[in-house]
Structures are given as C-alpha cells and as structure tokens.
C-alpha cells in the first residue's frame, strides 16, 4: 500500500486516540498465561496485532475477533509449535513476548528470532539476563535464526534490569506471574504498556506492588484459570502523532482520550517552543487506571527548543514520541537538536525529511540539527522500515505543498488503524493505493 498526499492544507476537527499497539500486543501474549477464557477489549486492527493473532492460531489457540474489536481467546489443552507460523512471527519483534508465557507450559522450545523494526543492533539482552535469574534460559541459534528456551527449576528472584527495556520488563512480569513467591524487579520500565500489563495481571489474580514506579514487586501464583477481561488503554504515541501534525501544519485539532501522564513532558517541551494548547478535565480509561484528557492544539508561532530534545525512561520524553519533534522543528524559528541516543541509526531515517526540503544536518548516527522555519515541498519517498520515522514523513507530506507519494506504508500500518481515513476526517487529502 502507498499513500498519495496533497499537502499544504490547514486541517481542523476532532480525532479520538485509538488503543495502544504496545499494550495490545503485551496483553495478547499475557493471555497465554490463562488456562481459561480471556477477552481483550477494543483491540486495534493493526498489522502488529494481526501477526501475533496468526501465530497464536498456528499454535492451537482459538481466537474470535468480534466486530466491536474484542478478541476472545481460549488456549488449547496443549500448545503445539510444530506448525508455528514462522512468516508472521519473523515480521514482528513482539514475538519475543511469547518467550515467558510459553516457557511455563512447554519448558523446552524454539521461537523464530524477532526482526520487527529495522532500527540497528537491538538485541534481547535485557530479556535474556533477567529471565535467567528466574530459571528461564534463552540462547540463540544464528544459523536457524531462532531462540531456544529452556525452563530449569523456575523460582522467584530479585532482579536488576541493566536496561529499562519495556518488552524486557514485560517478559519478566509474565514469567514472575506464574512463579509462586515474591519477585522484585528493580530499574523496571514504568512506561504505559508496562502499567497496562500490570493492571491486566492483577485482574488475573497476580498482586503487583509499585505499578508506575521503577521497582515492581510481583506476588506470583501457581495457576491462572478464570474468565478474565482485559482493557488495553489509549496510545500516547498516537496522541503525539496528531499533536505533532497540528503543530507542523498550523492547525487547530482536538485530540480526545489522550493518556496525559505519558505526554506531560512532551507538551511542556512544545510549550517552550511556542505551541499553544489547552487541556480538558482528567477522566479514567476503561481499565480504571490510565488517566485521560482531551487536548486542543491551536495554530502557533514556533521557535526552536532552548535545549536539546532527547528521550528518557518514563516519566521523560518517550523514545517513540521523539521523532514527532522533527517535523515540528522544521517549522520553528532557530536551530533544534534532536538526540536519539537509544536506537543505532534511527536518526538516518529522520534525514529523509530533507527530500521534502527540510534543512537538516546529521551530526552522527544519533544527533540531528534542524534549521527552521522551512517551507516544505512535495516529493515521492519510500517509507523507512521503522514505524515512527515513517509517520513523521507522512506529517511532513501533509505540511508540504503539492502532491507527494509515500511508498510501502506497511510500517505505518503496523501501529495505526485506517490512518488515512481518519486524516481525511480532519480535511487532509490522502488516499491509499495499491
């Protein structure tokens, strides 16, 4: 699929934040811990969820995806990896989240090594180190491009995460959930998807202390076997996409159901850049934990940020929100430094915006200087193989005058449902073509 875009228009209207990709995939994996029926509410119909759905079907799980988005999940009497859908598994890095749940029921097995976004040399080091302390040993087979998992005397433990990895902590949480006793996870990510998973595990009967902090204390249970409902909450990264779109195009857009706890520093930074916005009253998501509010972004005269913009573990700027400052910076007077220190080489993808006329300088694989304001122009560009850089290019095209084409938008469809249709409701001229 490709996107044809006629940009340079001022947009307006209201958009509702969809359910989080990262929370949805974590809870899909966690449903494998339950021997009873799990119902996950309002699951987003995005490619990342579809790939895990296909893998789960291929190993014997019964799934029913309702029209309202709910997915009903019933595990088999015995998981069978003989016919595991390898093609689907290799297309998503989220397959790594199956390690811990399957370790409890299979003991010894192989999984295709995850690929997911092409963001440089990312490994499962944080997962492997922490899971081993619980008795789950993960090793790699480079020739077969698989991971081999062995469970040996699973036991509770005290764990220090050497990296505040979101998926690493999620795997440890799922492993600890079915290990009776108390497991303590220190230097844990407190990010939104981790909190959503904790709320779901508590619904499964697993007590977790410290949700929203960097120390999690998990009181594991011997078995989970019940009818359970899970409510993944809204996606702060999607909210940030629309905030960035409004700021870059000088538009007034209302974004509803924004997870405000995971956007506060982003909004403060944008306010320093001159962005005008208002926040409505806070209310709770359906999981009764995540705080939401409606945000109205107004046309603003932008200036460069006074300091470099860099990501940090929660409650800092989210690493997935960092790219959305790039198109905003092209419209801000002055010089902005974006420091993407986490991913090797993702800053190279940011430079694709120069094809639309952005004035940018790549200082090194992690740092980009952006001069603004710049009048962007149309161009035909191949979408980078990484989700967030692909969406920042789309924002640039919507701000650029003329007709642009963004080729091969599968990376965007991994995380956004019917994005082009939702953009049209805001007045954008965009169509999806084969």
CB within 8 Å of 189: residues ≥ 6 apart? 161, 164, 165, 166, 168, 169, 214, 313, 314
For residues 173 and 255, state if they share a domain. Answer: no
Listed residues 179, 214, 230: the one ending a domain: 230
pLDDT of residue 118: 38
Nearby residues of 228 by Cβ (< 8 Å), 6 or more positions away: 34, 36, 37, 38, 39, 200, 203, 204
- Check whether 141 has a pLDDT greater than 90: no
| pLDDT above 60 (res 335) | yes
pLDDT above 60: residue 117:
no
Q: What is the predicted pLDDT for the residue at 35? A: 97
- Both 263 and 409 in one domain: the answer is yes
Please report which confidence band the pLDDT of residue 123 belongs to, taking 50, 70 and 90 as the band edges.
low
Percent of the chain scored above 90 by pLDDT?
Answer: 90
**pLDDT, tens digit (0-9, with 9 covering 90-100), for 192-213:** 999 999 999 999 999 999 999 9
The pLDDT of residue 360 = 98
Do 186 and 160 form a contact (C-beta atoms < 8 A)?
yes
Same domain for 406 and 317?
A: yes
Residue % of the chain over a pLDDT of 70: 98
How many other CB atoms sit within 10 Å of the CB of residue 413? 21
**Is the predicted pLDDT of residue 152 greater than 90, yes or no?**
no
DSSP 351: G
For residues 30 and 198, the answer to whether their CB atoms sit within 8 Å is: no
Strand, helix or coil at 194? helix
Q: Which helix (H) or strand (E) holds 72?
A: strand 71-74
Q: How many domains does the chain have?
A: 2
Give the whole-angstrom CA distance, residue 432 versus residue 272: 36
Domain boundary among 210, 230, 250: 230
Whether 128 and 165 share a structural domain: yes
Phi, psi of 239 (to 5 degrees): -55, -45
Q: Which residues, including other chains, have CB under 8 Å from residue 143's CB and lie 6 or more apart?
A: none
pLDDT at 246 over 90: yes
Co-location of 136 and 68 in the same domain:
yes
Closest CA to 177 of 229, 110, 100: 100
pTM of the model: 0.95
Q: Are residues 211 and 246 in the same domain?
A: no
Shared domain for 48 and 115, answered yes or no, is: yes
The phi and psi torsions of 23 (rounded to 5 degrees) equal -70, -40
Q: Residue 75 is part of which domain span?
A: 21-230
Contact 372, 402 (CB under 8 A): no
- pLDDT recorded at residue 174: 98
Domain boundary residue, one of 187, 211, 230? 230
pLDDT of res. 156: 96
Question: Does the pLDDT of residue 343 top 60, yes or no?
Answer: yes
Query: In the predicted model, what is the mean pLDDT of the chain?
Result: 95
In total, the chain counts a number of residues equal to 434
CA atoms of 26 and 233, how far apart (whole Å): 12
Query: Is residue 116 predicted with pLDDT exceeding 70?
Result: no
The band of 121, judged by pLDDT with boundaries at 50, 70 and 90, is: very low
Phi/psi-derived region of residue 147, left when phi > 0, alpha when psi is between -120 and 50, beta in every other case = beta
pLDDT of residue 200: 98
345 pLDDT band, cuts 50/70/90, is confident
257: left (phi over 0), alpha (psi -120 to 50) or beta: left
Task: Looking at the structure, tell me whether residues 296 and 198 fall in a common domain.
Answer: no
Give the separation between CA 174 and CA 26, rounded to whole angstroms. 9
Residues 215, 259 within the same domain: no
* CB atoms near residue 307 (< 10 Å): 10
Both 185 and 250 in a single domain?
no
pLDDT at 361 over 70: yes
Evaluated on CA atoms 350, 352, 355, 359, the torsion sign reads positive
Residues 161 and 210 in one domain: yes
Per residue in 285-329, pLDDT (tens digit) is 999 999 999 999 999 999 999 999 999 999 999 999 999 999 999
Same domain, 179 and 95: yes
- Confidence at 120, pLDDT banded by 50, 70, 90: very low
CATH code, domain carrying 197: 3.65.10.10
Q: What are 403-429's pLDDT values in tens digits?
A: 999 999 999 999 999 999 999 999 999
């Amino acid at each position: 699929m490709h996107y044809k875009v006629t940009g340079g228009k001022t947009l307006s209207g209201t958009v509702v934040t969809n359910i989080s990709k990262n929370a949805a995939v974590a809870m899909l994996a966690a449903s494998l811990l339950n021997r009873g029926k799990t119902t996950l509410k309002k699951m987003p119909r995005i490619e990342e969820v579809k790939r895990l759905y296909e893998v789960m079907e291929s190993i014997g799980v019964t799934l029913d995806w309702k029209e309202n988005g709910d997915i009903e999940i019933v595990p088999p009497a015995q998981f069978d990896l003989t016919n595991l859908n390898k093609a689907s598994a290799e297309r998503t890095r989220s397959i790594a989240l199956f390690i811990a749940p399957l370790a409890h029921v299979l003991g010894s097995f192989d999984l295709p090594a995850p690929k997911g976004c092409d963001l440089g040399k990312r490994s499962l080091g944080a997962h492997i180190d922490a899971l081993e302390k619980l008795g789950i040993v993960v090793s790699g087979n480079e020739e077969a491009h698989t991971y081999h998992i062995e469970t040996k005397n699973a036991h509770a433990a005290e764990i220090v995460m050497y990296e505040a990895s979101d998926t690493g902590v999620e795997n440890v949480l799922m492993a600890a959930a079915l290990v009776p006793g108390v497991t303590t996870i220190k230097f844990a990510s407190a990010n939104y998807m981790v909190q959503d998973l904790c709320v779901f595990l508590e619904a499964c009967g697993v007590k977790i202390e410290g949700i929203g902090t960097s120390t999690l204390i998990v009181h594991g249970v011997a078995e989970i076997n019940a009818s359970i409902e899970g409510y993944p909450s809204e996606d702060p990264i999607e909210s940030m996409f629309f905030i960035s779109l409004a700021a870059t195009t000088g538009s007034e857009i209302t974004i509803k159901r924004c997870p405000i706890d995971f956007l506060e520093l982003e909004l403060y930074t944008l306010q320093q850049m001159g962005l005008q916005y208002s926040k409505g009253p806070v209310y709770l998501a359906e999981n009764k934990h995540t705080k939401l509010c409606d945000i109205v972004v107004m046309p603003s005269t932008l200036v460069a940020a006074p300091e470099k913009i860099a990501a940090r573990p929660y409650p800092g700027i989210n690493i997935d929100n960092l790219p959305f400052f790039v198109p905003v910076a092209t419209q801000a007077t002055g010089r902005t430094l974006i420091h993407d220190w986490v991913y090797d080489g993702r800053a190279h993808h940011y430079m694709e915006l120069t094809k639309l006329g952005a004035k940018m300088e790549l200082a090194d694989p992690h740092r980009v200087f952006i001069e603004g304001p710049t009048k962007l122009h149309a161009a035909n560009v191949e979408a980078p193989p990484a989700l967030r850089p692909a969406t920042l290019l789309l924002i640039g095209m919507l701000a650029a005058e003329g007709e642009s084409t963004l080729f091969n938008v599968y990376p965007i469809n991994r995380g956004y449902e019917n994005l082009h249709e939702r953009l049209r409701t805001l007045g954008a001229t965009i169509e999806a073509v084969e």
